[in-house]
Amino acid sequence: MTHQVHIIGGGLAGSEAAFQLAQRGVKVRLSEMRGGGGSTPAHETEGLAELVCSNSFRSDDDTKNAVGLLHHEMRRLDSLVMQAGEKARVPAGSAMAVDRDVFSAEVERVLSEHPNVEIVREKVEALPDSGLTIVATGPLTAAELASSIVNATGEDRLAFFDAIAPIVHRDSIDMSKCWIQSRWNKRTEASNEDGDYINCPMTKEQYLAFHQGLLDAEKGDFKEWEADTPYFDGCMPIEVMAERGVETLRYGPMKGVGLDNPYDTNEEHPQGRWPYAVVQLRQDNKLGTLWNMVGFQTKMKYGAQVELFRTIPGLENAEFARLGGMHRNTFINSPDLLDRQLRLKRAPHIRFAGQVTGCEGYVESSAVGLVAGMMAAAELAGTDWTPPPQTSALGALLSHITGDAEASSYQPMNINFGLFPPLHEVHKKRRKEAYTERAKADLGEWLDTLQQVSA
């Protein structure tokens, strides 16, 4: 098949971009190195859109949460990632979590069956000299292609560490010490009867011993080229959080507020008192056989992980389907290198999309892939590209990446209301709702404009 756009990278962003282009009648060549002689330190399969860290797309609340709003906007734009996510959805309270294998298989099925998409398992080692191209190689770009990007941009790569949380077999968890509940009892329609998280409570003594264990545990050694690479706060290793203070974890992933321990009741707390600290596990697959340890990404060595995590009440006999790990992520200085349409200023036939641009998160990566596909389709059609309003989640994220962020201190960023134009006249208690209401109205007008242009 003769292609009109070459997409390099079959992750979330590349898959979404391919779908958006194909749906608009554009012939796409989608190159993925896994299965074609290439691999990464974090991927375990050759499937498209493999989720290598958490299985969560985070909050699905489109009324008060920025990432939930981004979900809403992507659904309105016929997002493949959102469609596949619904088919692979597993209970996760007010969040959206998926069975990672079902999700990847669904994305690959849709693209494999699409007449406008050709999936090629090949390792691309250099940026093409010509032809419309979208580079969506993600944070684990192969060394040869990364060198080609450096040569094309004239900039050194930026990098940070991302971390992977362990996954536990459900039948190895001692439920006589744990209970199922969502924090503050918030659940979705797909929730389990009692909630969506398994909660392992800790007393103060148990917590302090665990905290000390994190400090003392043997960690993996960094390679020379990793030594000065900073962490991204959204994926901070559990032991690094512990180093920041004894209370840090209790105000982070191990906070006990909103969780009623049924094994610790009295007259004052007949439903159960909040534990001093808690470890939460979230369902990782549709069968409910695998659960991941929320916020427990780590650089500890495997043996140290097993030994320490089995001191957690309820996990004394835990069997791990996957232990935690870490890998280096790379991204370009997008505000300096890309124009407002994600094109490389020095080579405008090349667009970048996904986490390689410096956005952070599954949904954000997919969203940038989505708009990159729309932009390329508009360019091929000879129509002027009208960007999504900056008041929308898509527009705010895109603006941040392509020029609004400070290039000299550019770091990976999740979508958040701090990227939106401010609403000073609205009381702070209603500000989140006001942001989402404005965004939905403005996005609706933008979609109407796009439909008029296409007609």
Helix pair angle (80-87, 66-76), 10° resolution: 100
Instruction: Enumerate the known binding-site residues for FAD.
Output: 9-14
Residue 352 pairs in a beta bridge with: 135
Instruction: Enumerate the known binding-site residues.
Output: 9-14
Using a CB cutoff of 8 Å and minimum separation of 24, what contacts does 83-91 make?
83/110, 84/49, 84/110, 85/57, 88/286, 89/190, 90/55, 90/190, 90/283, 90/284, 90/285, 90/286, 90/288, 91/187, 91/188, 91/190, 91/191, 91/192, 91/196, 91/283
Cα–Cα distance between 409 and 286 in angstroms, integer?
A: 41
Buried b (16+ CB within 10 A) or exposed e, 286-298: beeebbbbbbbbb
Cα–Cα distance between 119 and 271 in angstroms, integer?
A: 54
Sheet holding 320-322, edge to edge: 179-180, 197-202, 277-283, 290-293, 167-169, 320-322
Helix pair angle (66-76, 362-381), 10° resolution: 40
Residue 14 φ/ψ region, left for φ over 0, alpha for ψ in the -120 to 50 degree band, beta for the rest: alpha
